[in-house]
Structure 1
Amino acid sequence: MTYVEASVRRQQMLTAARAALARNGVARTSMRAVAAEAGVPLGTLQYVFPTKEQLLRAVIGDVVDEIAAVLEGAAELEKGLDHAIRRGLTSFWEMLVVDQTNLQIMQYELTTYALREPGHASLARWQYERYSSIVAQWCQQAAHNAGETCAVPFGRLARVIVACMDGLIMQHVCDPNEVRSREDLETTLDMLVGLAAAKRHA
């Protein structure tokens, strides 16, 4: 058998889990189905992820890392908070929403699954804490690099950004209309830039 580094094998399992979850839904995706998708024995999967909750937490973390990479790669953070918000969220929309309906549905299913399963509510809370955390850090870095202040705390700005994008995504998933969605996104960006009201340090 060809040797595969643990980190590579773990990522292969996460990729397989994301594919299975996006295709079949969270409730209908078993550990056995993920193992089959990854082409590994069930025991191998359970060695890396002993429970479904641990696997789902890892999937959420993987998605958050992807979002962070898109945001960081989209905007030149030294150009300030306004630029970061407009460029970053536009790139996020183009890369992770427009042609990624199943990815977005999977994320919502992860939330509702965690909220409905007894003892799993902390997973949903952690999911949104992670979303808000990476957005807050990204906004703070953009403001810091440009020598700017923000009119509201970065944590609050991040939560509002996540809430706004959630709403836009849900509407787009339910009724895909690229022109309307893009117009609504532009309006939302104007609102968020206004909320941040970034100013250069005196």
Structure 2
Amino acid sequence: MLEAAVELAERLGFSSFTMRDVAVAAGVSLGTLQYFYPSKDELVRAVALELADQVVQVAGQLPPGATDMRGVAGLDNLLTQAVESWWGIISSTPTRRLVTYEIATNGIRGGGPILDTALLQYRLNTAYITAMLVTCAEVARVNWAIDVDELGLFAMNFMDGYVLRWLLEPEASPASAQRRTLVKAIVAFAVEGDAT
């Protein structure tokens, strides 16, 4: 049912399909769908969480040989691989990314449960990035010179704008050099020494 909702959201936009459309696409009765998702707002929330989770599951894995990457140079390597892994997922699923922006836009316009969902998806994505920064620093045995939550928010804001620009102009997509600049900007806040 959830995958059917994701596919409809990708194809039509989440505001253009009904609960009945999802039930038909999933091959279940409307009552069955409403048992699991009593309202469309709850279904949209589940879609947003599913989309965030798909990125986290794949991009959150440390690369092979990560435990040998030490110091600022090792951190640079870890973050480069993490950002490229993230970009591989994002760039292969543009319509899914569009759904996340649609949820955010509708939340800003309408408030209520959709705004709560949009805020949740952004907070989860920021928490994922922050956790990745913590893990990479621990593996590389470096410390952050600034608050890691602030650094995670900075990275999230950059990535969000990067993806939005790419969705607007896919043929003039942001160069990989910009992703490299992000990594260099983050690494600039790393200092040698065991992470605390």
TM-score, normalization by structure 1: 0.83
Query: How many equivalent pairs are there?
Result: 188
> Structure 1 unaligned runs (5+)?
1-12
Q: Tell me which amino acid in the other structure corresponds to 2:95.
A: N
- Is this contact kept in 2: 1:143–1:149, CA < 8 A? yes
Tell me how far 1:84 sits from its aligned partner: 2.9
Mapping for residues 1-202 of structure 1, pairs under 5 Å: 13-73=1-61, 75-76=63-64, 77-78=66-67, 79=69, 81-97=75-91, 99-120=92-113, 121-177=115-171, 180-194=174-188, 196-201=189-194
Distance 1:27 1:130 in 2: 22
Distance 1:136 1:56 in 2: 25
Closer/same/farther in 2, CA of residues 137 and 20 from structure 1, 3 Å limit: same
Distance 1:54 1:32 in 2: 14
RMSD: 2.1
Tell me how far 1:19 sits from its aligned partner: 0.5
- Is this contact kept in 2: 1:172–1:181, CA < 8 A? no
Q: Tell me which amino acid in the other structure corresponds to 1:117.
A: G
**Post-superposition, which runs of at least 4 consecutive aligned residues in structure 1 deviate over 4 A?**
none
Give secondary structure in 2 for the equivalent of 1:152.
coil
> Structure 2 unaligned runs (5+)?
none
Give secondary structure in 2 for the equivalent of 1:88.
helix
Q: Tell me which amino acid in the other structure corresponds to 1:26.
A: F
| Percent identical | 28
Distance 1:66 1:109 in 2: 18
Tell me the residue number matched to 1:5: none
TM-score, normalization by structure 2: 0.86
Tell me how far 1:74 sits from its aligned partner: 5.1
